[in-house]
Structure 1
Amino acid sequence: MEIVVALVFSAAVLFGADRLLLWLESRGHVNWRRKGRRRLSDEPVGRLDSMLSDHTGR
């Protein structure tokens, strides 16, 4: 009986976490299931990246 309670509890926790992440996704805080991953190649180059890369060809 304890294993059934443990399984139900873990399923409830996972379901609650999923609903929380979907709510956060609808607010724009995280990408969870509904939206795909961002393509990093489409993102602009940050200032730190441009400062660290060698554009002079030395």
Structure 2
Amino acid sequence: MEIVIALAFSAAVLVGADRLLLWLESRGHVRWRRTGRRDLSAEPTTRLDSMLSENARR
């Protein structure tokens, strides 16, 4: 009987967390399930070599 209660409690926590994240997503705080992924090819890119070179630090 204890395992059933533990499983029900775990399910309730997961559903509650999901609802909380959906609510935060609707207000624009996080990306959870309903908004798609960003198109990373449209993001600006910087080569790692140029970021770590000595000339870029000056």
- State how many pairs are aligned: 51
**Unaligned runs of at least 5 residues, structure 2:** 54-58
State the TM-score, normalizing by the size of structure 2.
0.72
Give the 4+ runs in structure 1 shifted more than 6 A: none
Structure 1 length normalisation: TM-score?
A: 0.72
Counterpart position of 2:41: 41
Relative to total residues, which structure has the larger helix share, 1 or 2? Answer: 2
RMSD of aligned Cα (Å): 2.1
Identical positions, percent: 73
Partner in structure 2 of residue 13 of structure 1: 13
CA offset digits 1:2-45 (Å, max 9, x no partner): 00000000000000000010011001111111111111121235
Provide closer, same or farther for how the CA distance between residues 44 and 36 of structure 1 changes in structure 2, counting only shifts above 3 A: same
Structure 1, unmatched stretches of 5+, are: none
